[in-house]
């Protein structure tokens, strides 16, 4: 869709004020190019039930005390909080209040649990930047783009009160999705139908160059010194020193 942005922008400028015509012309371009503008939303919609189910499953397992294993620097995949604390609105009570300058879990465990939400915010921000079209200047999308900028912060706050296993899964998903998008958009993994069509036209045009040029240019250009039928021959210029004879011949 990024390669179609110049055409979409031209339609918006040409039919400014006629929203219905803009939508029809834009849909026509998408249809000719074989692009579905809603295709990018489908993976996100499909994963929403997965996230909800995974959140419920990991929360219940953690509440039963069956998710106490650590993972690398994470003390416990169950996280620093419980379902009861989240339901009572105290999901981040493991951060506050400080006692004698120390958080409730101590500095070591608190910093270990904070690393994952911070990494999740960074990965979500980078993923949003990669997914966002750099060529999109549609004013109607400015509100959505502004919301995307605050989404990583909301996800980071959410990660403070959920099992660390869910945050770890979310972080892994962001890293893999970002790598996939970089491969598709930057490294040539995805085929661009619009660019392929433009390249095809360029190849055909370069092939046809010189196709209609005559082999013998004498068929097109008349030979010098031989006038065409109906053309009055132009008298030749006099040689140096013979101007008087030339004037007499032309006057007679």
Q: What is the pLDDT of residues 19-29, one digit of tens each?
A: 888 888 888 87
Residue with the larger pLDDT of the pair 186 and 183: 183
Distances (CA, A) of 149 to 78, 122, 152, 153, 183: 29, 12, 7, 8, 23
Q: Is the dihedral of CA 211, 213, 215, 219 positive or negative?
A: positive
Distances (CA, A) of 93 to 62, 102, 137: 17, 13, 43
Residue with tokens 């980078």: 126
DSSP for 26-48 reads HHHHHHHHT--TTTTHHHHHHHH
> For the chain, what is the mean pLDDT?
74
Instruction: Give the confidence band of 134 by pLDDT, cuts at 50, 70, 90.
Output: very low
Residue with the larger pLDDT of the pair 53 and 201: 53
Q: What is the pLDDT of residue 123?
A: 92
Q: How is the chain split into domains, by residue range?
A: 1-39, 41-196
Q: What is the pLDDT of residue 83?
A: 73
The whole-number average pLDDT for the span 77-90 is 80
φ, ψ for residue 39 (rounded to 5)?
-65, -30
The whole-number average pLDDT for the span 36-65 is 76
Distances (CA, A) of 163 to 60, 71, 170, 179, 193: 10, 12, 11, 25, 43
Q: Residue 20 and residue 26: Cα distance in Å, rounded?
A: 10
106 has a pLDDT exceeding 80: yes
Q: What is the pLDDT of residue 143?
A: 58
Q: What is the pLDDT of residue 220?
A: 46
Percent of the chain having pLDDT more than 70?
64
The whole-number average pLDDT for the span 142-171 is 82
Question: Which two structure tokens, joined as six digits, stand for 38?
Answer: 């809603």
The three-point CA angle 162-165-169 to 5° equals: 105
* Alpha helix stretches (DSSP H) within 132-163: 142-159
Q: What is the pLDDT of residue 30?
A: 75
Q: What is the pLDDT of residue 118?
A: 94
Closest CA to 86 of 98, 74, 78, 77: 78
Cβ proximity of 163 and 60 under 8 Å = no
Residue with the larger pLDDT of the pair 92 and 195: 92
The whole-number average pLDDT for the span 56-76 is 84
Instruction: Give the confidence band of 91 by pLDDT, cuts at 50, 70, 90.
Output: confident
Instruction: Give the confidence band of 64 by pLDDT, cuts at 50, 70, 90.
Output: confident
89 has a pLDDT exceeding 70: yes
Residue with tokens 């021959």: 233
104 has a pLDDT exceeding 60: yes
Residue with the larger pLDDT of the pair 176 and 237: 176
Q: What is the pLDDT of residue 135?
A: 45
Q: Residue 81 and residue 120: Cα distance in Å, rounded?
A: 18
């Amino acid at each position: 869709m990024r390669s179609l942005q110049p055409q979409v922008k031209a339609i918006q400028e040409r039919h400014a004020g006629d929203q219905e015509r803009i939508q029809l012309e834009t849909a026509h371009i998408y249809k000719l190019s074989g692009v579905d503008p809603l295709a990018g939303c489908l993976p996100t919609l499909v994963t929403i039930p997965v996230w909800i189910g995974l959140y419920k499953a990991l929360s219940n397992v953690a509440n039963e005390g069956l998710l106490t294993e650590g993972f690398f620097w994470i003390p416990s995949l169950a996280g620093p909080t419980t379902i009861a604390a989240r339901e009572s609105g105290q999901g981040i009570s493991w951060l506050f209040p400080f006692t004698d300058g120390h958080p409730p879990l101590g500095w070591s465990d608190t910093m270990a649990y904070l690393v994952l939400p911070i990494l999740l915010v960074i990965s979500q921000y980078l993923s949003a930047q990669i997914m966002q079209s750099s060529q999109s200047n549609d004013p109607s999308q400015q509100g959505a783009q502004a919301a995307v900028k605050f989404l990583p912060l909301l996800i980071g706050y959410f990660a403070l009160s959920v099992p660390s296993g869910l945050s770890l899964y979310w972080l892994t998903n962001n890293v893999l999705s970002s790598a996939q998008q970089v491969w598709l958009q930057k490294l040539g993994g995805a085929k661009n139908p619009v660019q392929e069509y433009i390249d095809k036209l360029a190849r055909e045009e370069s092939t046809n160059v010189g196709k209609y040029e005559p082999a013998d240019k004498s068929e097109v250009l008349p030979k010098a010194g031989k006038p065409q039928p109906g053309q009055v021959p132009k008298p030749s210029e006099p040689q140096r020193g013979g101007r008087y004879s030339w004037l007499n011949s032309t006057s007679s």
